[in-house]
Amino acid sequence: MQIDVWTTHSLDKVFPESLKPGGATGSIRLKAARNETEDAQIAVRIPRGVQIAEASFSLPDLIGPRGRSIPSECLSASWIWPIYVLNNPPENTDPSSYLRKAPAFFPDAFLEEKVIRLRDEWTQALWVSATVPKGTPPGEYEGAMAIELVSQDGQRHRSDIPIAVSVWPFTLADEFHLHHTEWFFPEILADTYNAEHWSDEHWRWIGRAARDMAQHKQDMILTPIAKLVKMTRSASGRFTFDFSKLDRWVKTFREAGVTWVEGSHVAGRSGGWESDIAFHRFPVYGANGRPLNTSRSTLSDAEFEGYLEKFLKAVYAHLKRRGWEKRFAQHIADEPVPANEASWRRCAGLVRGWLPGVPIIDAVMSPQLAGAVDWRVPQIQHTGPDSPRGPNEQLWSYVCLAPQGHYPNRFLDYPSIRNRIIYWLSWSLDLKGFLHWGYNSWATWQGVPVRVPISPWLDASGASIYCADRTPLPAGDPNIVYPGKNSICSSIRWEVIRKGFEDFEYLYMLEEAVQSAGKKKARSVAAAKRLLERVRTEVAPDPLGHTRDDKLLLATREEAGQLLAALAADE
């Protein structure tokens, strides 16, 4: 069999029609710090008339200095599943703003299966990752992985792909310096796997999601406090609280490495987009265990605010007893605009009084709220070197179905660099966190009337492509992971986000090293200062002016690693 096999870098997107380029490499060479994961891809092109019944791979130990090794358990590989995308983002009228015209296949999801079938005239990508354990001595580690193909008529083909990992003499911390939240929908998780809500089976899947988030540098978890804490009012008017679900939730995520509780929104629009912000009603139970009537026909807004005050104060006191209160931030209402800014401020003022010292975090669409939100999260196109900031305000960024056009985002039909550059911009613009709404929104988007089950493996828009009365969500906006049979399945975009956070940490560490290096390292310090200035002025100066050059980004990351290694020498 004449099979084309080649390797490529992690920012490349390998399409089913991709052909082996001239000068393509046949080996993987990576450079990484300790406690870092670095990635590459292998492409396999099947010729016409050949059907592959089994495509499999095996991973080696990588042998390094003095017989030390990076064991095969630290290497992973996943076959890539292409998602069929029907629409490019509606505002992307310039064809250069996406990879190719939809409808078309775009590679993204990681398959659980290690052995798959391959069709002829099809290029299949395999994502390969190497994780360097913390205590690994620096130096070169080498081995070779094998890809084995068996055709339907029994012919066999084996390709050996050399792998080399150069380990630098510095270590990434477990906890990074850029906050990260991807909003999680536990009920959708349960429904996807036909698990009873909050059953042991549901909690097992929540644990898997928590570990996946931590592996991808997510440190905050959107926490549906009103669903996790049961508030009961006795006949005498005394309130009691059951915190058992909240405790299990926080422990599950903290043990995985997601250590910040991000209280979900306590308020929202009372009607249309520009309507006033009002507090959400939540269940309060009577002594008989049945929900009380807390609707506006029974309780006025002022009366219900008394319930909410008691609830939030009790939650905060409980977190304080557990020693968790210093890693607690609270949402008010999502995306306030100028028309409902005043009502948002009123709600925020009440919550501040009930939760003194707890930072308020919200995605906002009103620039007048600068200084009014402790952790203010505008869309990334509204950040820049001269963005207004209030005193003691943390400025974050977020993306969702916007911005489109040439701005960064994580859509399936975008080049991977437009996803990864978000975190370079976070460093260069002094942003403190990143937020996205869609970790696992695998259900239909906002009640789209689709009467059959949908799957993110086959529809990347939350079924919004089937609804004629609204603009479809851009492909990939609702989710960054996929539901596997036995695990949460990653994606190219999710791995690129992880790399972006590691890039941020490189830049953060390099700036710190420049400040603390002695005179003996003046040459490395000068080179590091020049690199950091290039990042600010050439690589990621602003959300629209960032580089589109994969090679430049990867070369800058490698140069940062080499400088960190030089500055770490003899330490």
DSSP 333: -
What is the average per-residue pLDDT within 183-208?
Answer: 97
Q: What is the pLDDT of residues 299-316, one digit of tens each?
A: 999 999 999 999 999 999
3-class state of residue 130 by DSSP: strand
**Nearest alpha-carbon partner for 552 in 560, 544, 563, 542:** 560
H/E element, 42: strand 37-46
Q: How far apart are the C-alpha atoms of 561 and 70, rounded to whole Å?
A: 19
Report the pLDDT value the prediction gives residue 386, as an integer from 0 to 100.
85
Cα–Cα distance, 264 to 183 (Å, whole number): 10
Residue 469 has pLDDT above 70, yes or no: no
Whole-number pLDDT of residue 571: 45
Count the helix, strand and coil residues of the chain and give each as a percent rounded to the nearest 5.
30, 25, 40
pLDDT band at 529 (very low <50, low <70, confident <90, very high): very high
Distance CA 165, CA 172 (A): 16
Tell me the pLDDT tens digit for each residue of 93-128: 999 999 999 999 999 999 999 999 999 999 999 999
Q: What are phi and psi of 228, to 5 degrees?
A: -100, -15
- At 510, the amino acid letter reads L
| Section 150-170 average pLDDT | 96
Euclidean distance between the first and final Cα of the chain, in Å? 53
The two structure tokens encoding residue 449: 């009337």
> Domain coordinates of the chain in residue numbers?
4-171, 220-377
Q: Write the pLDDT tens digit of every residue in 401-436.
A: 999 999 999 999 999 999 999 999 999 999 999 999
Kindly state which CATH superfamily the domain 4-171 is placed in. Immunoglobulins (2.60.40.10)
SS3 459: coil
SS3 for 463-488 is CHHHCCCCCCCCCCCCECCEECCCCE
Q: How many Å apart are CA 543 and CA 384, to the nearest integer?
A: 7
Q: Which residue has the tokens 């390292």?
A: 521
**Strands 52-58 and 37-46, bridge-based pairing:** unpaired
Which residue has tokens 């620096």?
138
Q: 3-state DSSP call for residue 220?
A: strand
pLDDT at 447 over 80: no
Say which residues have a Cβ less than 8 Å from residue 3's Cβ, sequence separation at least 6. 44, 45, 46, 47, 50, 149, 157, 159
Cα-based angle 29, 9, 72 (whole degrees, multiple of 5): 50
pLDDT at 336: 97
Distances (CA, A) of 423 to 426, 508, 528, 541: 5, 11, 19, 12
Cβ-based neighbours of 384, under 8 Å, separated by 6 or more:
429, 542, 543
CA–CA gap between residue 138 and residue 68 (Å, rounded)? 10
Q: What is the pLDDT of residues 230-285, one digit of tens each?
A: 999 999 999 999 999 999 999 999 999 999 999 999 999 999 999 999 999 999 99
SS3 326: helix
* 508 burial via Cβ count (<10 Å: 0-12, 13-18, 19+): middle
Strands (DSSP E) found in 98-188? 104-110, 116-118, 122-131, 139-151, 156-171, 179-182
Q: Give the ranges where 335-443 is alpha helix by DSSP (H).
A: 341-354, 417-428
Mean pLDDT along residues 33-55: 97
**Residue 85 parent element (H or E):** strand 75-85
What's the maximum distance between 2 C-alpha atoms anywhere in the chain? 82
Tell me whether the omega of the peptide bond preceding residue 403 falls within 30 degrees of 0, making it cis.
Answer: yes
